[in-house]
Amino acid sequence: MESALVTGIAVAETLQNQLPWLEKVWLWVTFLGDPKSLFMFYFPAAYYVSRRVGIAVLWICLITEWLNLVFKWLLFGDRPFWWVHESGYYRQAPAQVHQFPSSCETGPGSPSGHCMITGAALWPIMTAISSQVATRAHSTWVKAIPSLAYCTFLLAVGLSRIFLLAHFPHQVLAGLVTGAVLGWLMTPRVPVKRELSFYGLTSLSLLLGASLIYWILLTLGLDLSWSINLALKWCERPEWVHMDTRPFASLSRDAGAALGLGIALHSPCYAKASLEPLPPR
C-alpha cells in the first residue's frame, strides 16, 4: 500500500509542477465535481428539462453521498495533504507539492466523494441524453458523444482531486468505479410516485442508520475523529478547514434532501405543475 501512496504523491507532484498552466482548470473542475454543486446546479437544471431526470439526480445524489460517508468510516483512507507529512517518507527530500483552499477536507479519503457521488448522480443525465441522441443520429461516433463526455468529465474530476492533494489515484479509481456502478443500478429504480411517509422514513433511516454505524464503530474502540484532527494539524491555513466537509454535514444534507423531496413531490404546487405541459423550447 505504501508504494501506491508514494506513487500518488509523485502523480500529484507531476500535475502541480509540470502542468502549472492548468491550475485554474483543475480548480474549476473540482468545483464542478463537488457534490454540493449537484444539489445547487445540476439538480435544478436537470429538473427544468425533465422532471424524472431531475428527481433521479437528487435521489441518487443523496443516497450515494450517504454510502460514501459510510465507506469512508469503514475504509480509513488517508489524504495526501496530511500523509505526506505524517508518513515521514519525505523527511529527507520533501515532495514539491502545495495545498489549496479546497485541499483541506476533514473526512477520510477513500473512496473519493467527488468521483463517486458525481459519477452516480450524472448517470441518469448521461443516459437521458444518450437516448435522445440515439433517436436522432445514425453515426456510432455521434451516439457515443454523451458517454465519452461523461467519462472525460469524471476523469478530469479525478485528476483535479489528485492535483489538489485531496485524494490518491487509487481512491479516485475506487470512487469512479463505485459511482458508475451505483448510477447504473439506481437510475431505473428511482422512486417517484411514493407516499410521503416513504420519504420521511428514508430521511429517518439515513440519520438513524449512520448514527448506529457511528456508535458501533465507537464502541469497537475506533476513533472516527482521527481525520479531522489530522486535517486541522496539517492544513496550511486554519480558514481552509471548512465545517461543511465534516462527515455529519453531508449526512444532514442528505436526510434533509430526502424529506424535502417527498414534501415537494406531494405539494399542491407540484401536483398542479405536473398536469401542465412544459413551456416550448
Is residue 114 annotated as part of the catalytic site, yes or no? Answer: yes
The single residue of 167, 170, 242, 266 carrying the catalytic annotation is: 167
Residue 153 domain boundaries: 1-89+98-271
280 lies in some domain: no
Which SS3 state, helix, strand or coil, does residue 91 take? coil
The single residue of 85, 114, 138, 266 carrying the catalytic annotation is: 114
CA distance 123 to 199: 22
Is residue 85 annotated as part of the catalytic site, yes or no? Answer: no
Number of domains in the chain: 1
Which SS3 state, helix, strand or coil, does residue 192 take? coil
217 lies in some domain: yes
CA distance 208 to 255: 10
278 lies in some domain: no
Between the alpha carbon of residue 245 and those of residues 133, 241, 257, the distances in Å are 37, 8, 17
258 lies in some domain: yes
113 lies in some domain: yes
Q: Which residues contact 182 (CB under 8 A, 6 or more apart)?
A: 60, 63, 64, 67, 116, 119, 120, 123
Interval 178-202 mean pLDDT: 93
257 lies in some domain: yes
Q: Which residues contact 64 (CB under 8 A, 6 or more apart)?
A: 116, 117, 120, 121, 179, 182, 183, 186
CA distance 238 to 252: 24
**Residue 244: predicted pLDDT:** 79
48 lies in some domain: yes
State pLDDT tens for residues 28-67.
999 999 999 999 999 999 999 999 999 999 999 999 999 9
Highest mean pLDDT among 12-21, 200-209, 224-233, 245-254: 200-209
Query: In which residue are the cell numbers 467519462 written?
Result: 151
277 lies in some domain: no
